[in-house]
A and B are shown apart, each in its own frame.
Chain A
């Protein structure tokens, strides 16, 4: 049946080629709808409890999406006339950043002071051109005395200062917005808004650098991080895809030694990517860094299909078969294996839909689509294309597999040592899996080739970081923020948090209350403490709110009905483990010491802290289902329950061993690893299918002994498996070069797992087969057969 189909393909090769090109172009045109995300929140599903909590916080208080500009004067101190003038200027210009709703700096810090019953609320630095040395000294003394500024906007050594710009981006587009014109939509699109704000800030900083050559500027903040996502995608697309294509071209030329086969492979790979990405565009999939790695993954997987077909084709031609006959024969032999391996690979990737993190749904779906397209192209378009291309293969004496022959000899000779040795190695590495520590330092998702990362590291080291833990402290009643008992609890908690490791700064309403209390009592230091009556607090706040300029209100710390306050703790960049400990510690402390305000930690840091664990749990079921489905396909393909069960070992163990190797090499795993098992499962199973089906054919059709069957399997698919493994490993190694940690970890881990899978398939699997599938006719040691059969059934 496949034969007549193949003949028809060759007869109608031109229509087939033209049809494929037209369909590809039509679908690929959907690529124009692909949108790069620039919102870190896309990593969290809508039901993620940490996201829900954070959204609630953002809704209650001023949003905390920000841009942070750090200024580092060459003079070594912020407190010289020129730098102070620059700070005022930067603060002023910062208000021009689109969507800015608040700007905080040491210059517009609202300083309160008192002279008898006269109260002054004024900016700390005003009219810098008239400042005298004494004024500057006074300003420095005041600034260094402000807990709200020190280690947040001003370093303790006065070497750097920061201007924090809070932006409020438009709400996400709704269904109704889809009806708007593109121009109107662009105005309401938060993604575009963010890019606009960031680009403006960049231009502004470039101008500032020109205007103030003696000051070094660094830009970070959530907005900068968000905008780094599409830029990381773009940088990857520019460097990784060409590299991946180069790997394909070199790899195929090297292994197939045939120019036109390389051309055919490149076209199939290119079309697979165009089709998959175009379809993703039509489906409205949002491109995140993980999803944007799909082209590289598709390319890698699509090559394997082509290689299998072309190897057979060229072999046949070298054995002097006519080209078109060779094409038909290759298709006949390879159609079912390619179909099966495509399905198992697609299942592996589709199981990523169980992930808690939507970008991995997209990656899984796009790659599954790509694998599907690659299959269709391989069995529909490639034969027609090869029929048209002037492929030539010189007849050659078959020197195939002398290497494989020798390797088979080795495996057969050392089957027992290999079996037990590998068993020990496999178990040993697998046991090391738990040594990996989960670590999602979101700032470090970007490698140091990304400017955002460099700036953020610098700002974190010198001033304050992006690691902010938020606490939404509830007094339980309207206006309760002024309640002295509540304020005292907040202050106690604040004091406790300040003692914890890694804490750089604590921002809390209590500082404002202490300061106001002092000012209201003629700036007497003994009143630098919390007000003792609720009415006093409330009236101070009323006064203070009335005196503040626009954009510097208290809504970033107190909610509208004054029942709750937000405490923000800025920390050094910390590991997930440390953050988890911090969260547990603070929770426990609150429950023991201030139970009425006890609450969970929230914020972006907290969200990323829990993301890996949530994903690993959500992917457990996805991986299990993929495993069951893939095993069923294997049972069907191998037509044997026994061998289906045997295949579980080489299918699952490589991923576990991969983690073990990872524990030795790296030791830290991120969100990416949660999907690696399911993903590699679909890929490594291909090796098992090929190897076992050849082994079984030898046993069943040719009546060979298990040793002969092992030798047969090595001879027939050994080279192809090595070649595809090398191509796959190289492809994923290209992905490992990504500047985005999730992609690079995924790439490296997959490459390691694929190589391990080949090693297991080439050493453990044959020796295990020779041990467990021993037939009575074949040689020694019948003694241990009975227990072995039992063991096999128990597997």
Chain B
């Protein structure tokens, strides 16, 4: 599984430069921008980051999870990613490996240290709560252009920043959403906000991306993602630190065998 990562960072980051955009249908424009964002995000090779996830329930009670992520860029397909869980203590050492694919279902393996075994997981539905948070697996897995169809809804201002407003419709049958609405910074081409609409087309969740940093003068990455469930009032804050790019990770580091040897 590839958590919150370069191209991964949800739909938000897939948005893009509205450069030569005349005489296009809103659908073409939406796709065009998405492609450009995707291309712009490519080329990082591999990366690592630390993540802290804070779950907040209706009454404001918090609980914290920590994990690390490693991502390997795969050209012409979804990325390979690995997540290693550090906290809470009883899941320490648990690790997941995901090969995300553009069209077909992702492949996934899980290493459970208490069982000392790697299990290959087959599940069509990855729309549920990730570690009990408000993030679904599909919100944070590798986002390929082909996973959605698009429609450019218009341009507006979000907190004084000019943004593209683009609607994305999941192509995957088992998605938990009918549509997403992305707010993309026109100038920096980064996602600032995503609204998720549930199966009955009612606003389910709102994601706000903040504290962006420009790494290696190439890659914009948010330092903080806040997901609020508009229906239950629960929320999750995901914080990133220690981003590193080009760390020399190889394909063999993303094999199911490698899962067992992680520390």
Residues of A within 8 A of B (CB): 59-60, 62, 95-101, 110, 117-123, 168, 171, 478-479, 482, 520, 533-540, 542-543, 545-555, 558-562
Contact = CB atoms under 8 A, between A and B. Distances in A.
B232 interface: yes
B12 to A, nearest CB: 19
B125 A549 contact: yes
Interface stretch (B56-64, B151-159, B160-168, B242-250): B56-64
Given A98-B202, A101-B231, A560-B57, A538 B91 contact: yes
B200 A533 contact: no
A542 B123 CA distance: 14
A79 to B, nearest CB: 23
Contacts of B58: 59
Given A101-B231, A535-B114, A561-B61, A121 B123 contact: yes
A119 B125 CA distance: 13
B176 A542 contact: no
Given A121-B123, A551-B176, A96 B200 contact: yes
A536 B115 contact: yes
B120 A119 contact: yes
Given A543-B119, A545-B130, A554-B132, A538 B113 contact: no
25 contacts: A62-B232, A96-B199, A97-B200, A101-B232, A117-B117, A117-B120, A479-B88, A479-B90, A539-B115, A542-B91, A542-B94, A546-B96, A546-B126, A546-B130, A547-B123, A547-B128, A549-B126, A549-B127, A549-B176, A550-B125, A551-B128, A552-B128, A553-B132, A555-B132, A560-B132
Interface string B76-105: 000000000100111100101000000000
Interface in B164-216: 174, 176, 198-200, 202
Contacts of A533: 114
B112 interface: yes
Contacts of A543: 110, 112, 119, 121
| B113, B122, B232: residue with the most chain A Cβ atoms closer than 10 Å | B122
Contacts of A538: 88, 90-91, 114
A545 B91 contact: no
Interface string B34-77: 00000000000000000000010111010100000000000000
Contact of B126 (A171, A537, A547): A547
Contacts of B88: 478-479, 538, 562
Nearest to B63: A561
Contact of A168 (B57, B90, B231): B231
Given A535-B114, A546-B137, 7 more contacts: A121-B122, A121-B125, A520-B115, A536-B114, A546-B126, A548-B125, A562-B88
Contacts of B176: 549-551
Contacts of A545: 128-132
A540 B94 CA distance: 10
B124 interface: yes
Given A101-B231, A555-B129, A539 B136 contact: no
Contacts of A479: 88-90
B203 to A, nearest CB: 11
A98 B85 CA distance: 36
Contacts of A520: 112, 115, 119
Interface of B: 1, 55, 57-59, 61, 63, 85, 88-91, 94, 96, 110, 112-115, 117-132, 136-137, 174, 176, 198-200, 202, 231-234
Contact of B200 (A100, A118, A123, A549): A100
A538 B114 CA distance: 9
A165 to B, nearest CB: 11
A95 B200 CA distance: 7
B133 to A, nearest CB: 9
Contact of B90 (A535, A554, A558): A535
A541 B25 CA distance: 46
Q: Is the interface of A mostly helix, strand, loop or mixed?
A: mixed
A122 B120 contact: no
Contacts of A123: 125
A533 B89 CA distance: 13
A535 B113 contact: yes
Contacts of A62: 232
Nearest to A113: B122
Contacts of A560: 55, 57, 61, 63, 132, 234
A174 to B, nearest CB: 13
A546 B128 contact: yes
Given A117-B119, A119-B122, A550 B232 contact: no
Nearest to B202: A98
A452 B180 CA distance: 38
Nearest to B118: A117
A560 B94 CA distance: 19
B121 A121 contact: yes
A110 B124 CA distance: 11
| B96, B118, B121: residue with the most chain A Cβ atoms closer than 10 Å | B121
Contacts of A478: 63, 88
Given A119-B120, A534-B90, A549-B125, A539 B112 contact: yes
Contact of B114 (A168, A539, A547): A539
Contacts of B120: 117-119
Contacts of B89: 479
Contacts of B137: 546
Nearest to B87: A479
Contacts of B132: 545, 553-555, 558, 560, 562
Given A535-B90, A542-B94, A168 B232 contact: yes
A62 B229 CA distance: 13
Nearest to A61: B57
A96 B198 CA distance: 9
B231 A59 contact: no
Contacts of A60: 57
Contacts of B112: 520, 536, 539-540, 543
A70 to B, nearest CB: 22
A151 B118 CA distance: 36
| A60, A539, A562: residue with the most chain B Cβ atoms closer than 10 Å | A539
Given A539-B113, A547-B128, A122 B231 contact: no
Nearest to B83: A546
**Which 4 A-B pairs give the minimum distances between C-beta atoms?**
A549-B125, A550-B176, A538-B90, A548-B128
A118 B120 CA distance: 5
Contacts of A551: 128, 176
Contacts of B61: 560-561
A552 B131 CA distance: 13
A550 B113 CA distance: 26
A561 B61 CA distance: 9
